[in-house]
Structures are given as structure tokens and as C-alpha cells.
């Protein structure tokens, strides 16, 4: 279905961009680089006046999806999918999601391949995760693999947090940007969870076989399509964790995707064990096993948000996890990337009494930070960067990279608190405890802002406080 490059005339324009070199081919189409077209010149392919000013001079990716050879109904479905993908990209903007700029339907009556083709105009990436892992030369280090997986999970946590499922998560749909950061892409199968139940949505019976959970192989097809849940993405994430550390191999053996799918179903039905490659480091082995829990119910307890918290801890080097010699190196690269990419700036308080389980009798106006990760409690005095916790700018917005202040806190810190907000954005800790409560805390002199917000799940204290207005 892909349009070969020689069918695109030299200097062919789409909107305000001129087609340059081909970037990639796929089963659905071809991706080209798009460079800003010359301001001079006129004609139906110019269109620079219709391009947003903030992206007019940006190098983009142009994904051509030809409709030639499709039945009229299929062509309309492809156009509708492209429209939905563009609209989703505009609505769900986040640092871990590729930016969708526009979509265009070409009108070229003299060219049967291009006529009616859909072109998605999006942010330009360097390559996909698949290409990155298959490149020649030394592969990524364990720390780099950990960072990539953590950033993937950041994007997934945001999607699930706003009530959407990706539906086709795989290395081909994870893009690496020029600065090395990760962005999720290809939202053609992304769907919003049903507004009535909030547990599932519906998509066409499509997807990449190697990343489908066992239940999808036998899922009934209704009028709205097949059911898809956040746990479907979690299963795909588990496959990717295994592939990342095991040289691209699936945890389910088989010569073909169908054979590997059959092995996964045997495992889900209790007739075969889950065999994970020994190359997976212990924390990531546990993460992969939880993502690949055999049933939807078992996977449902492992949300993208809770997995993300565990991944940040798993990114601590082995020496730090085992209590070995300290290293004068930057720890927790994934945490630094997740929380604003700035140097952790914390503050130290005078020693207080030992933290006790349950709610404490801390005087009103003071609360103690609590980290449920045992490593971080045992080594609180080391103030490991990977064990630092983030304070939010706004407790009503998603708890993500752009909503965290530079100042960091650690287990045992005692903070001055002004008031309590009982209904903010929900936060779940590493043990699965969930809370919508937040405390507005005062920051030390010299901090960029005077106050910030600590999630209620990060402290056992419940002092009597006024409700934040």
C-alpha cells in the first residue's frame, strides 16, 4: 500500500512543507521528512498561509496513507481514523506524546496512487525504538534501557490518567527524538474509555499480534468493535520490557506471531509457565511478570502510574539497591527525566522522632514525608536522587513532568503545611495506596516559589488543618 518515493514529484508540497527524504516504510504507508517550503511560488500545493505560525519553520514528518485499492467504505474509515488521530494529538498534548500538527486529504485526479491519500503531519523524530534497538554497534546500557522504559511508562500513565487506551503499543510506535527522549506515537487505535463504566473502550479488531494480551485472541466482536482496557497496554509494556533486556526476544517462544500468541494463551490458561530471560535484572523481571499477569483482573491492579513509581526505583544502580559502596555519580536518571530534568534541590530539617506506622500526632502545621519504598527509607540519610519525591505546582492537574517544582523532598523530611485539599488529582504509591488528598507546604527561603503541594499518600500525618480555598 505504500507509495514509492519515485511517485512523488520533486518538490512536492503538502500544506506548508516540501517532501524531502524518505524516513520509513510500513504496512500502512510511507513516512517522509517535510521541510518548510519556500515562501515564494504559488499554486495548489503552497498553502503556507494556512500553517500555524509556531510550527511554520519546523521540520516535520509526513506520513502518507494511500487509499488506492481500498473499498470506499475502507477509505472513509481510514480518513476518519486519521482525523481522530489528529484530534487526539491536539487534545492530549504531553511531553511523552508525539505532537500531531494536521492531517490533509490529497486531491490529485491525475495520480491514482496519491489521489485521496491521507497525510498526517507530525513532529519529526530521529527513529523508532525498534530501529534504535536494531542498530549496529554497541547496544544501550542497562541505565539507558531503564530510562527509555520509564519514559514510555510516563506517556502511558498520562494516557490512562486522562481516560484513554493506546491500543497498539509496540517498539515501532515509540519514537526517539533528537535529544534522546521518548514519545509515544500512532494513535489510530487509541480509544477513550466508556463514559458509563470507565473500565473499557472499543476498537476495530486490529492490533499487532505479538503485543495482544491472551484474552484479545478470543474477544467477541460486537457492533462497536472489540473491548480494550488499560490492561491491554500493560501487557504490551511487559512484552517490551522483556524485549528491551533480552535482545528483542519475546517471553513467549514461537516461530511466528501466531505461534507466540498460542504460547501466551497456553500460559494464560495455566498450562505453561511464564519463562523470562535471565538477562532481565531482578527489579525489571518483577515488573515484566506483573505486566504479564495472565488475566485482566490480575493486571488491573498494576496501573501504569504504580508501575512508573516502581520503574523510577528500579533505575537506581545495583550498588545503591544492595547497599554497596556509594558512587559519586548521578543516580536515578529516569527520575531526573521524569521531574523536570533539573538538579534536585532539597532542604534539610533538624532530626525528628522516628516515623511510626499509621497516623501520627504531629502538631498542626507540620507533616513528615514518608516513602513506602524500603530502600529509600533504609538509606534516607544518603538522599539518593532516585529516592527524592516531587512536589506539585497544581494539585488539580495531572501529576506529571511539567507539574512538579524543582525543590525535592526525601523520606523523613518535616514540612510546614498551611492547609489540606481533600479532592485533588488522585495519586497512587508503590504499594497501590491511592489518595486524592493534598497538603500545601511552605518551601524554604530561596526556592523558586514559596509553596508547593505534597500528595496525601506521601505522609501518614493527618493534622487538623483548614481546607485550602
Contact 407, 454 (CB under 8 A): no
- Which pLDDT does position 197 carry in this prediction? 60
Is 371 within a domain? yes
Q: Are residues 184 and 301 in the same domain?
A: yes
Is 11 in a helix, a strand, or coil? coil
- Which pLDDT does position 133 carry in this prediction? 85
Q: Are residues 83 and 132 in the same domain?
A: no
- Which pLDDT does position 236 carry in this prediction? 97
Q: Are residues 184 and 278 in the same domain?
A: yes
Can you read off the three cell numbers belonging to residue 410? Answer: 526525601
**Is the pTM of the predicted complex or chain greater than 0.85?**
no
Q: Are residues 118 and 131 in the same domain?
A: no
Q: Are residues 115 and 208 in the same domain?
A: no
Is 361 in a helix, a strand, or coil? coil
- Which pLDDT does position 200 carry in this prediction? 80
Contact 437, 386 (CB under 8 A): no
Q: Are residues 177 and 159 in the same domain?
A: yes
Q: How many CB atoms lie within 10 A of CB 246?
A: 16
Q: Are residues 221 and 289 in the same domain?
A: yes
Contact 312, 386 (CB under 8 A): yes
User: Domain residues for 308?
Assistant: 127-314
Q: Are residues 424 and 410 in the same domain?
A: yes
Q: Are residues 171 and 250 in the same domain?
A: yes
Is 333 within a domain? no
Residue 206 vs residues 2, 26, 252: alpha-carbon distances, Å: 19, 15, 20
The CATH number of residue 23's host domain is 3.30.200.20
- Which pLDDT does position 446 carry in this prediction? 74
Looking at the DSSP assignment, which residues form a beta bridge with residue 408? 390
Q: Are residues 260 and 160 in the same domain?
A: yes
Count: domains in the chain: 3
Q: For 375-429, what is each residue's pLDDT tens digit?
A: 788 777 878 777 788 899 999 987 776 788 888 889 999 999 999 998 888 887 7
Is 416 within a domain? yes
Domain boundary, last residue among 105, 123, 141: 123
Domain boundary, last residue among 314, 347, 372: 314
Q: Are residues 23 and 54 in the same domain?
A: yes
Is 326 within a domain? no
Give Cα 189 distance to the centre of its chain: 16
Domain boundary, last residue among 68, 92, 123: 123
The CATH number of residue 289's host domain is 1.10.510.10
Query: In which residue ranges of the chain is pLDDT below 50?
Result: 1-6, 39-50, 54, 318-363
Q: Are residues 308 and 344 in the same domain?
A: no
Is 329 within a domain? no
Q: In whole angstroms, give the CA distance from residue 275 to residue 320.
A: 28
Amino acid at each position: 500500500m505504500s507509495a514509492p518515493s519515485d511517485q512523488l514529484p520533486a518538490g512536492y508540497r503538502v500544506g506548508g512543507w516540501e517532501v524531502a527524504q524518505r524516513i520509513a516504510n510500513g504496512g500502512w504507508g510511507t513516512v517522509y521528512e517535510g521541510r518548510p517550503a519556500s515562501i515564494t511560488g504559488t499554486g495548489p500545493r503552497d498553502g503556507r498561509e494556512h500553517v500555524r505560525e509556531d510550527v511554520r519553520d519546523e521540520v516535520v514528518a509526513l506520513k502518507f496513507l494511500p487509499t488506492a485499492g481500498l473499498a470506499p467504505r475502507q477509505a472513509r474509515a481510514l480518513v476518519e481514523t486519521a482525523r481522530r488521530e489528529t484530534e487526539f494529538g491536539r487534545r492530549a498534548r504531553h511531553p511523552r506524546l508525539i505532537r500531531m500538527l494536521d492531517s490533509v486529504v490529497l486531491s490529485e485526479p491525475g495520480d491514482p496512487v496519491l489521489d485521496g491519500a491521507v497525510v498526517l503531519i507530525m513532529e519529526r523524530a530521529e527513529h523508532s525504538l525498534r530501529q534504535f534497538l536494531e542498530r549496529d554497534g554497541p547496544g544501550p546500557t542497562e541505565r539507558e534501557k531503564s530510562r527509555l522504559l520509564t519514559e514510555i511508562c510516563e506517556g502511558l500513565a498520562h494516557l490512562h490518567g486522562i481516560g484513554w487506551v493506546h491500543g497498539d503499543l509496540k517498539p515501532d510506535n515509540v519514537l526517539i527524538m533528537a535529544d534522546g527522549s521518548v514519545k509515544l506515537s500512532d494513535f489510530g487505535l487509541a480509544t477513550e474509555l466508556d463514559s458509563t463504566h470507565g473500565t473499557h473502550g472499543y476498537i476495530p479488531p486490529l492490533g499487532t499480534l505479538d503485543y495482544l494480551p491472551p484474552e484479545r485472541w478470543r474477544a467477541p466482536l460486537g457492533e462497536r468493535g472489540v473491548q480494550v482496557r488499560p490492561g491491554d497496554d500493560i501487557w504490551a509494556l511487559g512484552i517490551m520490557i522483556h524485549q528491551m533486556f533480552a535482545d528483542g526476544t519475546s517471553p513467549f517462544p514461537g516461530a511466528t506471531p501466531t505461534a507466540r500468541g498460542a504460547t501466551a494463551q497456553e500460559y494464560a490458561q495455566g498450562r505453561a509457565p511464564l519463562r523470562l530471560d535471565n538477562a532481565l535484572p531482578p527489579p525489571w523481571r518483577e515488573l515484566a511478570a506483573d505486566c504479564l499477569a495472565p488475566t485482566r483482573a490480575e493486571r488491573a491492579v498494576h496501573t501504569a502510574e504504580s508501575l512508573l513509581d516502581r520503574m523510577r526505583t528500579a533505575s537506581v544502580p545495583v550498588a545503591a539497591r544492595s547497599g554497596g559502596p556509594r558512587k559519586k555519580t548521578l543516580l536515578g536518571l529516569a527520575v531526573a527525566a521524569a521531574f523536570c530534568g533539573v538538579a534536585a534541590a532539597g532542604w534539610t530539617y533538624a532530626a525528628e522522632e522516628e516515623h511510626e506506622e499509621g497516623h501520627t500526632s504531629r502538631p498542626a502545621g507540620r507533616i513528615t514525608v514518608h516513602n513506602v519504598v524500603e530502600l529509600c527509607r533504609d538509606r534516607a540519610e544518603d538522599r539518593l536522587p532516585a529516592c527524592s519525591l516531587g512536589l506539585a505546582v497544581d494539585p488539580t492537574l495531572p501529576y506529571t513532568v511539567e507539574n512538579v517544582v524543582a525543590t525535592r523532598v526525601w523520606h523523613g523530611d518535616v514540612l510546614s503545611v498551611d492547609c489540606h485539599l481533600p479532592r485533588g488529582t488522585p495519586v497512587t504509591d508503590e504499594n497501590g495506596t491511592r489518595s486524592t488528598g493534598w497538603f500545601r507546604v511552605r518551601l524554604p527561603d530561596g526556592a523558586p516559589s514559596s509553596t508547593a503541594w505534597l500528595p496525601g499518600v506521601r505522609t501518614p500525618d493527618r493534622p487538623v488543618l483548614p481546607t485550602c480555598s
